[in-house]
Structure 1
Amino acid sequence: MPVLLPPLFEQGRSDEFARSRKTLSLTASPRDDSVAVFASSNPDVRSSGENASPPSQRNVYLARAHDAPTSERRVFVTDTSIIFAAMQKLRSDAREREVDISEDDTCLRAMNKLSLDYINFCKECCLYCSRDTPPSEPLQFSAEHYRKLHTCFSLFSLLYVPEPGFESVPVGDELMEWLNVHYVEPTTEEGDQLSALERPWEDENFWPYLTRAIIRGLSRASAFFLDVLSGHSSPYLHDLSKHLIPLVTDHPRLHQFSAERDFAIAARRWRDKVKGVRLELDRVPEDAREDGFENWWDRLDDIVGILEGREDVVKHVCVELGGDWKEVCAVWCVFVSPRIRRVELPDIVSDLLDEMPPDPTNLEDVVLSALFLGKPSTALAEAARLDVWLAAHLADMMEPLDLINKEPDVSELTMREHYVVSYCEYMRTDPGLWRIIVDYLCTCGEIGQQMADEVLMRVPLQLDSPKDDTVETDEDRARIRSGTLAGVLKEVNASCYEHKREAVRRMVCRIAAQTFMKEREYGLAISYYVSAEDWTGLGHVVDRMLDVYIAHGPRQYAQSVAKIAPSLRTLRSESKANGVFIYRLMFAVRFAEFHHRRLNGDLQEAAFDIISMMREEIAPKSWWAVLLWDVVELLQNGDNMFFTSVDATMLLHRLEEIHIRSSQGSADEYLSILAKTTKTGGEAHALQRLQTVRLALARYYAKCAVIGVGGRTTVGAVH
């Protein structure tokens, strides 16, 4: 049990802590799997009316169920996720073709390939962790751990995902190959040491080495050391070893034959030759069976007994050599029952395990025994104790093969989904793995998708202005501000599109829009509100933009809205856009363009902007008074005539409507914006400004009548 530093309370003083009117509380992190544990006031004490004094100091202890993956583990998790994705593609294709994976040879062949990919990644990680070169950081899992994953996945592939057409063939040779790969005995070093001796049979390791080489099918080593016995002093042993050499080297193997029938015939003939050696062995006189170092006859008797397929000999020899039930099983399937098939293994292994049970403290051994016994569900439960990665990926392959139950339990998750979700909970220790977590969760039905939504909505988008982060992050942020999706924001959007999480995508866009609006990046805020189809949010952006005019005047307003025109063009081309908010945005943009032209001296175009906004009813009525006040400068611009008499008449009509409606009780609707731009912020001052507008319009209209202006010509042009 972990020790808290500093301790929350001393050992043996829990009663004192309870009497202190405090309790232990915890809060889960919304971003990863960590929890914060701390002492807090007991709510039961507070509800009883007692005054619980707050603790003088609050120590917060952060804890998590798993350690976050370090470099080697992160690479392993990331690389194997590619195979997982390929497996999901295979399942998706099978559903589209309406085929059962467990009965389709194409699918089974693909699954065999994917299982081999998993095995190879486990092997590569094991080799990486076994290097003599010290790693840049301490390894999170040892090479031994990845060896166990390699061994377990290899056995699963051998027993449950064979190549199509090999499901019902004898399995002995494959089991022996698996045993030799994962449990190497005898070792090369032992063979080298013995071969360097002049009389190796005098060494205590000679006969155990030779026996194991023969039962493991190491024909070259076996033949070499049998030939070495030609130098032995016993002429009987000379002859017996010469007869054994061809038996060992010519032992029939299934892969050597195109048909199982031919293999069976060859095996029967080979067994007849073994009987001949047995007859010769039994003829050796009792007094010639020892050489002063070893009873060579007893050793040879065990070897011949195994070649004969005697069950009792196989068991006791393997035990004497230090082997366990796995070795007995492989030797049994090669020598005792060479035609045994996969489906028959559980019966054989069950009997063996009664005599040689697996080590319950060795999780690897327990997982392997469950696989041998044909108990996939038990194997998954034990695999989860060994490594949740193993359980998740085994379950993902077991379900389409109909090895485990596909029906949801009371939690509405299938067995496969339980293990995949558990694996995702483990990966949540590293928030940087959010993409992989989402990919896995979205394969777990509605519950998994809802969990993926929560992960996506909590990914930090890193949209704030660059501070002290990396150059790459700064570049991504700069690209985002140029209107390009980049960095985390782009990846989150891509993940939402890939997994059809439209509601989450809109939420993420809404969050991005709020960030941009806070930083007055109105063009980007509009783009993301539109992408989120949040028209109310779009309306808030327009209000914020127009507030800039009210608070800071036309120059800053024109600058802040300058980059919004492209967004407006995109919006107008989209049929889904909400018309009310689009018209408000159109007004904000056109109003900014008007001031931009006015401030740059392009007064004729500025005048055209005002008239078109009024005539096309783009400008809201609440802003009419503001537009009319901004027109005064154009009306009083010396001899320049920017409006026709028709334009001036239309402006007068708008002014009259404002006065009439205001006098009828709608002053707030027509004058509130203009009032905010005045020093006092009152309606009286706003009306005073409109009197100035009325006078300017009257003079302008009179000037039009005197000089006969009918179009947009200047006085100078008339003369």
Structure 2
Amino acid sequence: MQALLPPLFQQGRSDEFARSGKILSLAASPRDDAVAVFASSNGNVQLPQENESSSSQRNIYFARPHDAPTSERRIFVTDTSIIFAAMQKLRSDARARNVDMSEDDTCVRAMNKLTLDYINFCKECCVYCSRDMPRSEPLQFSAEHYRRLYTCFSLFSMLYVPEPGYDSVPVGDELMEWLNVHYVEPTTEEGDHLSSLERPWEDETFWPYLTRAVVRGLSRASSFFLDTLSGHPSPFLQELSKHLMPLVTNHPRLHQFTAERDFAIAARRWHDKVKGLRLELDRVPEDVREDSFENWWGRIDDIVGILEGREEVVKRVCIDLGGDWKEGGASVSEPFLHAVRGTTVLTLLWPSDLVSDLLDEMPPDPTNLEDVVHSAMFLGKPTNVLAEAQRLDIWLAAHLADMMEALDLIDKEPDDSELTLREHYILSYCEYMRSDPGLWRITVDYLCTCGEIGQQMADEVLMRVPLRLQPPKDAADADEESARIRSGTLAGVLKEVNASCYEHKREAVRRMVCRIAAQTFMKENEYGLAVSYCVSAEDWTGLGHVVDRMLDVYITHGPQQYARSAAKIAPSLQTLRAESKANGIFVYRLMFAEAAFDLVSMLREEIAPKSWWAVLLSDAVELLQNSENMFFTSVDATLLLHRLEEIHIRSSQGSADEYLAILARTTKTGGEAHALQRLQVVRLALARYYAKCAVIGVGGRTVVGAVH
């Protein structure tokens, strides 16, 4: 039973905890599958509450349903995700061609290859975990666990994913080969021991070894030890073993023939020879059927019965040898078992319901999940296979379900939860992967294959990925990545999230992530990047906030720092610098004349807010007082004077906050009086400029110079 450590309250004191006004609460982590458990107030103020909580009631307990993948498991999860991605590409191509994957030879051939890829990864991981070698961290799962995945996926491939053209042929040979590869019996050590004896039949393990070798179809081992019986004192046994040897060695196998008809003819002839041997065996007198060590006749009778395919003999022999239902089923069904891939479901054709009968007499071990999964596969019950596979490893259930749906082995229609059976298992696997936030890319890839519900879950994962945009404090290795981001290059986690959104067509999420990035850059005064990401997110409100922040820079830190910030917005302005003589609200661009033209345009067309008019006029003083050039026409000067008069009139009528607030913030005291004093300087400069225009008699600048 699970418990909180240290305990929140002592056993038997739950009533006391409840009377204290506390309840047990939990909060789910937004990043992974962890939950925080803690004591909180129940909100009932009428209940008496203790003034001081115990230290245990102030604890926060963290728990999670899964251990995060580490060590070899993390590599296994990431590597097999590549195969899963290839399977989804195959699905997409099949939809584009409007074909049923289970009926299309190209798709079936590709799925057969992909199942072999899964099998090879399971095998490689099993081999890696079984090596005796120093490791940087302990293994999360044992080699035995990956061996179980290996056996389950290889059996699934053999029975459910035959190559095109082999979907209605006997698979008995393949089944026996699968059994011999994964469950080695008899052992090599037993064979070495018997082969070293001069009269091996005198050893108590001889006949069990020979019988099992015949059961398993190990023709070389069977033939070798049958040949040793040529030295047995019984001439009857010598003759029988001589006739048995070619039957064991030349047992017809389907893979040896190019046509199934030729195989059937050879198998029939072979069975006729077995019948002949049975007649010869029955003619042996009863009084010579034993030697001083064993009833050899009974042993040969069992071997002939196995070759005849007699179910009762195979079952009894397997039980006597300590075998299980798999060994018995493979032995009896070898000539008969077919894998048939239908239009809706795969069925297994066994003689006389062989598997059901076998499992009644030799049931699988309910405590051995591997054995239970195998039995469900043999019975042709895909839904049971998935349920038991989930108990063994959710990875196995998810990837089997992905294959089964494509093969029409399970229902493709959603249930009441609007999820298909495949999606249920894929989403469960995604919950497992969420235990490691670093696997967010793979988790999103899997989620986006599960319809609208999966895509919505993927959106939540993407929006909670830490973008790591802040420059690292003590991580020298990350300096280059940080520099690339701040130079305007899409890099790091932000680039990966953007790529994932693009790949899975999650445009709304991409914009949200860009908004988050823009807010982060704005907090760091990286206004150029903030503007760029606001535009990418089409966040015009956010862009307005960035502009407001930049104008605050002008007010707080002056025109020089503002000009540097403004220059970062457009890459074309990054090489320009703010000039000391005309560095106000406008950025100096090649000529003072252009600055004057921009200022007049902003006032004439009312591009600038009225709250900034006073600031613009104040910064125009240096242009008005330039002794070498006249940058404004008399018409321009008149416009400036009109705007100045509007500011004075509106301010005197009670709208000073609207017209003078920002200019006042740039003065030392921040008061309205000082702002009006600044405007008096503007009035004087305008009066002198206007008088200068009249004296010269040319009206000041009348044409804008061609400087672009």
TM-score bracket for the superposition, by shorter chain length: over 0.9
* RMSD across aligned positions (CA): 2.6
Q: In structure 2, how many angstroms separate the alpha carbons of the residues matched to 1:413 and 1:54?
A: 48
Kept in 1, the 8 Å contact 2:630–2:700? The answer is: no
The structural deviation recorded for 1:16 is 4.1
SS of corresponding position for 2:620: helix
Kept in 1, the 8 Å contact 2:21–2:48? The answer is: no
**1:636 and 2:641 correspond:** no
Kept in 1, the 8 Å contact 2:579–2:588? The answer is: no
Q: In structure 2, how many angstroms separate the alpha carbons of the residues matched to 1:567 and 1:51?
A: 66
**1:535 and 2:540 correspond:** yes
Could you give the per-residue CA deviations for residues 209-239 of structure 1, whole angstroms, max 9, x where no partner exists?
2111122111112212212222222222222
The structural deviation recorded for 1:408 is 1.6
Instruction: Return the letter of the residue paired with 2:471.
Output: S
Distance 1:339 1:518, change over 3 A: closer
SS of corresponding position for 2:159: helix
**1:147 and 2:147 correspond:** yes
Distance 1:248 1:8, change over 3 A: same
Instruction: Return the letter of the residue paired with 1:321.
Output: L
Instruction: Return the letter of the residue paired with 2:73.
Output: R
Instruction: Return the letter of the residue paired with 1:343.
Output: L
Could you give the per-residue CA deviations for residues 461-508 of structure 1, whole angstroms, max 9, x where no partner exists?
00112113361x332222111101111110011111111111111111
Match of 2:48 among 47, 50, 54: 50
Greater displacement, 279-288 / 338-347 = 338-347
Kept in 2, the 8 Å contact 1:514–1:525? The answer is: yes
Residue 333 of structure 1 corresponds to: 333
Residue 283 of structure 2 corresponds to: 283
Mark the runs of 5 or more structure 1 residues left unpaired by the alignment: 570-588, 714-719
The structural deviation recorded for 1:13 is 3.9
Q: In structure 2, how many angstroms separate the alpha carbons of the residues matched to 1:240 and 1:657?
A: 124
Residue 366 of structure 2 corresponds to: 360
**1:482 and 2:463 correspond:** no
Q: In structure 1, how many angstroms separate the alpha carbons of the residues matched to 2:11 and 2:608?
A: 75
Instruction: Return the letter of the residue paired with 2:503.
Output: E
The structural deviation recorded for 1:10 is 3.1
The structural deviation recorded for 1:422 is 0.6
**1:343 and 2:348 correspond:** yes
The structural deviation recorded for 1:288 is 2.7
Residue 466 of structure 1 corresponds to: 472
Residue 59 of structure 2 corresponds to: 59
Distance 1:644 1:304, change over 3 A: same
Structure 2 matches for 1:141-540, cutoff 5 A?
Answer: 141-334=141-334, 337=336, 343-345=348-350, 347-469=353-475, 471=477, 473-540=478-545
Could you give the per-residue CA deviations for residues 301-325 of structure 1, whole angstroms, max 9, x where no partner exists?
1111111121211110111111111
Kept in 1, the 8 Å contact 2:20–2:48? The answer is: no
Distance 1:137 1:304, change over 3 A: same
Match of 2:692 among 669, 679, 703: 703
SS of corresponding position for 1:102: coil
What fraction of aligned residue pairs are identical, expressed as a percent? 80
Distance 1:460 1:591, change over 3 A: farther
Distance 1:414 1:230, change over 3 A: same
Distance 1:30 1:519, change over 3 A: same
SS of corresponding position for 1:27: strand
Q: In structure 2, how many angstroms separate the alpha carbons of the residues matched to 1:4 and 1:707?
A: 92
Distance 1:556 1:641, change over 3 A: same
The structural deviation recorded for 1:274 is 1.0
Mark the runs of 5 or more structure 2 residues left unpaired by the alignment: 341-346, 703-708
The structural deviation recorded for 1:708 is 3.2
SS of corresponding position for 2:23: strand
SS of corresponding position for 1:26: strand
Residue 665 of structure 2 corresponds to: 676
Q: In structure 1, how many angstroms separate the alpha carbons of the residues matched to 2:338 and 2:446?
A: 41
Distance 1:33 1:54, change over 3 A: farther
The structural deviation recorded for 1:605 is 4.8
Residue 574 of structure 1 corresponds to: none
Instruction: Return the letter of the residue paired with 2:156.
Output: F
The structural deviation recorded for 1:19 is 4.2
The structural deviation recorded for 1:543 is 0.2
Greater helix proportion: 1
Q: In structure 2, how many angstroms separate the alpha carbons of the residues matched to 1:50 and 1:198?
A: 91
Distance 1:591 1:124, change over 3 A: farther
Kept in 2, the 8 Å contact 1:333–1:339? The answer is: no
Instruction: Return the letter of the residue paired with 2:438.
Output: G
Kept in 1, the 8 Å contact 2:611–2:659? The answer is: yes
Q: In structure 1, how many angstroms separate the alpha carbons of the residues matched to 2:119 and 2:358?
A: 27
Kept in 1, the 8 Å contact 2:170–2:339? The answer is: yes
Residue 76 of structure 2 corresponds to: 76
Could you give the per-residue CA deviations for residues 353-411 of structure 1, whole angstroms, max 9, x where no partner exists?
11111111111111111111111111111111111111111111111222112222222
Distance 1:499 1:13, change over 3 A: same
SS of corresponding position for 2:87: helix
Distance 1:295 1:496, change over 3 A: same
Instruction: Give the paired residue count.
Output: 690
The structural deviation recorded for 1:99 is 1.0
